[in-house]
Amino acid sequence: MIIVGSVRPGRVGLPIAEWVRGEAEKTGKFEIDFVDLKELALPFMDEPAHPRLKQYTQPHTIAWSERVDAAEAFIFVTPEYNYSYSPALKNALDFLNQEWWRKPVGFVSYGGISSGTRGMAALLPSLAVLGLVRVGANVELTFGGKQVVDGVFQPQEKELAIIAHELEELEALATALAPLQSGANT
């Protein structure tokens, strides 16, 4: 599952995520569920019970739960906003709990000079509590918006190498972690 974390008009996250989708498709190893959080349009967390209990009341939560349940690995494409990550992504994470448990995640982060890395680092405690397992290789784009030309992301050689490595790690970890996914995240 590739999650587009940015929902702003004119966001550069969408072309970056489309590039990621293309690279993942090229490997022939993944069936991709492309989640644009703008299209998904979850409201702010509106469930009465803790998501750990899976007592979902809203159709949008049930649909999101089924979709994430079916995913075996994730790439979060996230910008940095004020030294942190995308609030839409945090909201989408908070809606669920068990569905993320012991599944691997890689990042494609972007922002200004920091390449979105402060935003990514700020998300790490939430990943840990949800049981998401971060891969080591992450694409980090310095002023990534400058690489979007006519709506298409133009990767550098090093970014092509890193995304290939990141996808390999995701595949390996997804296989290794699958047997560990039963049992509750308590």
Ligand X SMILES: Cc1cc2nc3c(=O)[nH]c(=O)nc-3n(C[C@H](O)[C@H](O)[C@H](O)COP(=O)(O)O)c2cc1C
Q: Which residues bind ligand X (CB under 6 A)?
A: 6, 8, 11-13, 79-83, 110-112, 114, 145
**Closest CB to ligand X among 43 and 112?**
112
CA dihedral 163, 175, 18, 129 (to 10 degrees): -90
Provide, rounded to whole angstroms, the least separation between the CB of residue 173 and ligand X. Answer: 26
Q: Give the residue among 179, 89, 162 at the shortest CA–CA distance from 126.
A: 89
Distances (CA, A) of 165 to 115, 116, 138, 170: 18, 19, 9, 9
**Closest CB to ligand X among 61 and 109?**
109
Provide, rounded to whole angstroms, the least separation between the CB of residue 111 and ligand X. Answer: 3
**Closest CB to ligand X among 89 and 133?**
89
* Rounded-to-integer distance, Cα 118 and Cα 81, Å: 9
Provide, rounded to whole angstroms, the least separation between the CB of residue 6 and ligand X. Answer: 3
Provide, rounded to whole angstroms, the least separation between the CB of residue 183 and ligand X. Answer: 36
Distances (CA, A) of 174 to 84, 101, 126, 133, 168: 27, 12, 19, 10, 10
**Closest CB to ligand X among 34 and 54?**
34
**Closest CB to ligand X among 34 and 81?**
81
Provide, rounded to whole angstroms, the least separation between the CB of residue 5 and ligand X. Answer: 8
* Rounded-to-integer distance, Cα 41 and Cα 33, Å: 16
Contact 89, 13 (CB under 8 A): no
